[in-house]
Amino acid sequence: MKVFHNAKFWHKASFKNNVKAILTEDGRIVKLLTSLPKSTQDYELVDLKGNYVYPGFIDTHTHSFEGGLYSLMIDLGGARNLQDVFDLIAEGSQDKGKFVFAWNFDELKIAEGRFPTRAELNAIVRDKNLVLRRVDGHSCMINSFACYNILSLLGNFHCEDEVFKGFENDRAVHWFHNNIEHDLILKAYHAASEIALKGGFSTIHTMVGDANMSIGHYSLIQENLANFGVDYVLYPQSFNIEAALEVGAQRIGGCILADGSLGSYTAALYESYQGRPIRGNLYQTDAYWSDFITRAHHHNLQVGVHCIGDRAITQINSVYLALANSDPKDLRHQLIHCEITDDALVNQIKASGAVPVMQPMFDRLWGGENGFYAKVLGKERAENMNRFATMFSKGIKITGSSDWYITELNIVKSLDAAMNHHSPAEALTAGQAIDIYTKNAAWLSHDEGVKGQLLTGLLADFTVLNYDLKKPGADKRVVATIKEGKLLYENL
């Protein structure tokens, strides 16, 4: 038995309580103690040095495979010219096996202002598959070795193009993801697990699959779940309901797309983009979604769909709402991102019981009067986005996430962003910010009886920060992440 002590404990939505220590056994909380046991010889004492213990934080939407994989690969973010790019790839490709990913390439930050040529890539990597991805993930290049391999496996592939966009970009990247060795896939998840623990998370939801008909390496990760430090909640990110059922999944989806992104003007809006006569794209018809979601619902699968613009959110929420009326089930379907919602749409979400899975860091990075959102949508609409507090006050159970690798997997920054929304009316209180990463997040995966609070009987998952979220100081950091009573990350 272990006793975690010398700390403040977040209990009943406050640090003002009489909990002085927590007794754990076999990874669970046995008792919240109001004083240290008189004789401590039977216990292992863990001194938390006066820090602040929160329930283990949960990030409810990540792309951990990509995040973990890229952390092991070649980051071109620092390159200033093509020679830098070539040097980084030459050095980084040495110990990488048969598949080499170079990512974060931005031709706008490169002195020459262009992509390399395929001949230039071939001169550096001749006998391994190399992909160079643009910073936004929406275009890529590959070397001739990879082109030859893709062509011989897939048949038709437009190798004559040097820079792939759209469909060809997706096909090339998925070919890489689908063909890398199992060993490297597992390494990527181990790396992601370390990054999550360091970022203060004991559980992360993660998507596996190509957002089309493949569930990718889902079974491989499922079989290895016990080997990772962090708890992964897996999503078959696919439209393939049969495949999801076959592997025993309880949910389906993730970033399966109802619309695109604001950056590429493909998020589907009711009103046109600022200064452009376009309203974005719905990627599927109403009938398609109705059929897919209804079939999944029928099989008791929780559904998650990427929807950013109000037109896309309405499209998906309408199906959830119809099902809530015709065939009510406690499945907790998800509206992932759920960024643009007026009051009427918020009320419809309340009525459907859907769960907005939201990203406070999006507002931090792109919100504000002069931010990116204001540029593409105009100030007025930009002010009415990512409506955390409005939804929370209506009793909609929103959850928090990073969409890592899109934003950082870091609880300190995530909580900070949730509490300091650019629109003060949408900022969460400390207690609410904690809830969207703990209680609500555990509830999303039907784990409210397992984790998400410091309560007797729940898992001993703790995140220790060096500050009280209600009165943060200047140096804010994660000092420890404890999973089922084990200290898995420590910077005390």
CB of 307 to Zn ion, least distance (A): 9
CB of 203 to Zn ion, least distance (A): 17
- Region from 168-176, 223-231, 233-241, 302-310 binding Zn ion, contact rule CB under 5 A: 302-310
CB of 86 to Zn ion, least distance (A): 31
CB of 255 to Zn ion, least distance (A): 4
- Region from 301-309, 342-350, 375-383, 453-461 binding Zn ion, contact rule CB under 5 A: 301-309
Residue 92 vs 253, nearer CB to Zn ion: 253
Residue 403 vs 426, nearer CB to Zn ion: 403
| Token pair belonging to 439 | 């209680």
* Nearest to 268, CA basis, from 280, 283, 284, 286: 280
In the chain, the amino acid numbered 12 is K
Residue 254 vs 485, nearer CB to Zn ion: 254
- Region from 26-34, 123-131, 229-237, 403-411 binding Zn ion, contact rule CB under 5 A: 403-411
- Region from 93-101, 208-216, 401-409, 436-444 binding Zn ion, contact rule CB under 5 A: 401-409
52-111 positions binding Zn ion, by CB under 5 A: none
CB of 417 to Zn ion, least distance (A): 17
C-alpha–C-alpha distance, residues 87 and 344, integer Å = 54
Binders of Zn ion: how many residues, by CB under 5 A? 3
- Region from 213-221, 324-332, 399-407, 466-474 binding Zn ion, contact rule CB under 5 A: 399-407
| Phi and psi, residue 342, nearest 5° | -85, 180
C-alpha–C-alpha distance, residues 42 and 49, integer Å = 21
306 lines the binding site for Zn ion (CB under 5 A) = yes
C-alpha–C-alpha distance, residues 9 and 353, integer Å = 32
What is the greatest pairwise CA distance in the chain?
76
In the chain, the amino acid numbered 108 is L
Q: Out of 231, 403, 426, 435, which residue is the one contacting Zn ion (CB under 5 A)?
A: 403
CB of 306 to Zn ion, least distance (A): 4
CB-CB contact of 454 with 19 (8 Å): yes
CB of 261 to Zn ion, least distance (A): 8
Calculate the CA dihedral of residues 51, 55, 56, 58 and round it to 10 degrees.
-130
Residue 306 vs 422, nearer CB to Zn ion: 306
Residue 306 vs 311, nearer CB to Zn ion: 306
DSSP per position, 273-341: PTTSS-----SS-HHHHHHHHHHHHHTT-EEEEEE-SHHHHHHHHHHHHHHHHHS------EEEE--B-
Burial class (CB in 10 A: 0-12, 13-18, 19+), 13: middle
- Region from 176-184, 304-312, 372-380, 411-419 binding Zn ion, contact rule CB under 5 A: 304-312
Residue 51 vs 238, nearer CB to Zn ion: 238
CB of 359 to Zn ion, least distance (A): 9
255 lines the binding site for Zn ion (CB under 5 A) = yes
CB of 210 to Zn ion, least distance (A): 13
Other CB atoms within 10 A of residue 455 CB = 13
297 lines the binding site for Zn ion (CB under 5 A) = no
* Nearest to 280, CA basis, from 254, 315, 255, 305: 315
Chain CA centroid to CA 41, Å: 43
Contact positions vs Zn ion (CB under 5 A)? 255, 306, 403
